[in-house]
Amino acid sequence: MTLYPKLILDALETVRYPGSGKNLVEAGMVEDNIRIEGMKVSFSLIFEKTTDPFIKSVTRAAEVAILTHVSKDVEIEGNISIKSLQAPRPEVGQMLPGVKNIIGVSSGKGGVGKSTIAANLAVSLAKQGYSVGLLDADIFGPSVPKMFHIEDARPFAEKIEGRELIIPVEKYGVKILSIGFFVDADQATLWRGGMASNVLKQLISDANWGDLDYFVIDLPPGTSDVHLTIVQTIALTGAIVVSTPQDVALADARKGINMFTNDKVNVPILGLVENMSWFTPEELPENKYYIFGKEGAKKLAEEMNVPLLAQIPIVQGIREGGDSGEPVALDDQSIMGEAFVELAKKVIEQVSIRNEKQPPTQIVDITKK
Nearest CA-CA partner of 58 in 40, 71, 45, 39:
45
Mean pLDDT on 215-228: 81
pLDDT tens digits along 189-208: 555 556 667 778 888 888 99
Report how far residue 82's alpha carbon sits from residue 97's, in angstroms, rounded to the nearest whole number.
27
CATH of 5-84, one of 3.40.50.300, 3.30.300.130, 3.30.70.1050, 3.30.460.80: 3.30.300.130
Phi-psi region of 145 (alpha: psi -120 to 50; beta: other; left: phi over 0): alpha
DSSP secondary structure of 84-115: ESSPPPPPTT-S-TTEEEEEEEEESSTTS-HH
Write down the pLDDT at residue 369: 43
Highest mean pLDDT among 10-14, 46-50, 273-277: 10-14
Of 29-33, 58-62, 249-253, 324-328, highest mean pLDDT = 58-62
Average pLDDT of span 252-261: 85
pLDDT of residue 284: 78
Distances (CA, A) of 52 to 86, 123, 194: 11, 35, 16
Write out the residue limits of the CATH 3.40.50.300 domain(s) in the chain. Answer: 99-357
What's residue 7's pLDDT? Answer: 94
Delimiting residues of CATH 3.30.300.130 domain(s) in the chain? 5-84
Task: Using DSSP, state whether 29 is helix, strand or coil.
Answer: coil
Report whether pLDDT(361) > 70.
Answer: no
363 pLDDT exceeds 60? Answer: no
**Identity of the amino acid at 79:** N
Q: Say what the pLDDT of residue 264 is.
A: 74
Asked if 173 contacts 59 with a C-beta cutoff of 8 angstroms, the reply is no
pLDDT at residue 328, rounded to an integer: 86
Alpha carbon distance 19, 218 (integer Å): 33
pLDDT, tens digit (0-9, with 9 covering 90-100), for 74-130:
999 889 998 876 655 555 556 788 999 999 999 878 888 899 999 999 999 999 999
343: CB partners within 8 A, 6+ apart: 117, 120, 121, 124, 273, 309, 310, 312
| Per-residue pLDDT band at 366 (split at 50, 70, 90) | very low
Q: Give yes or no for residue 134 having a pLDDT over 60.
A: yes
Average pLDDT, stretch 158-164?
Answer: 78
99-357 CATH: 3.40.50.300
